[in-house]
């Protein structure tokens, strides 16, 4: 697993075209990510409202 990290550049260097690089996750973070993907938490009220707004907007199209 990896997250996106911007590489450091010196002030007089131009950043490379690919300015984002993957950084490996720690074993602990990898395990936590897999647990969250396999057993996601219940949606909270804010997410439920956002889904309802999205669905109402998508139906109008």
pLDDT tens digits, one per residue of 2-60: 566 666 655 666 666 566 677 899 999 999 999 999 999 999 999 999 999 999 998 87
Domain assignments of the chain as residue spans, ordered by start: 2-60
- Got the DSSP string for 12-37? TSPPPS---EEEEPPHHHHHHHHHHH
Give me the pLDDT at residue 53, please. Answer: 95
pTM: 0.45
Q: 21: which strand partners?
A: 5
Residues 27, 13: Cα–Cα separation, whole Å: 34
């Amino acid at each position: 697993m990896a997250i996106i990290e911007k590489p450091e550049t010196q002030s007089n260097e131009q950043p490379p075209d690919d300015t984002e690089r993957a950084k490996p996750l720690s074993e602990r973070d990898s395990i936590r990510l897999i647990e969250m993907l396999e057993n996601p938490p219940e949606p909270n009220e804010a997410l439920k409202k956002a889904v309802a707004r999205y669905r109402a907007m998508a139906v109008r199209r």
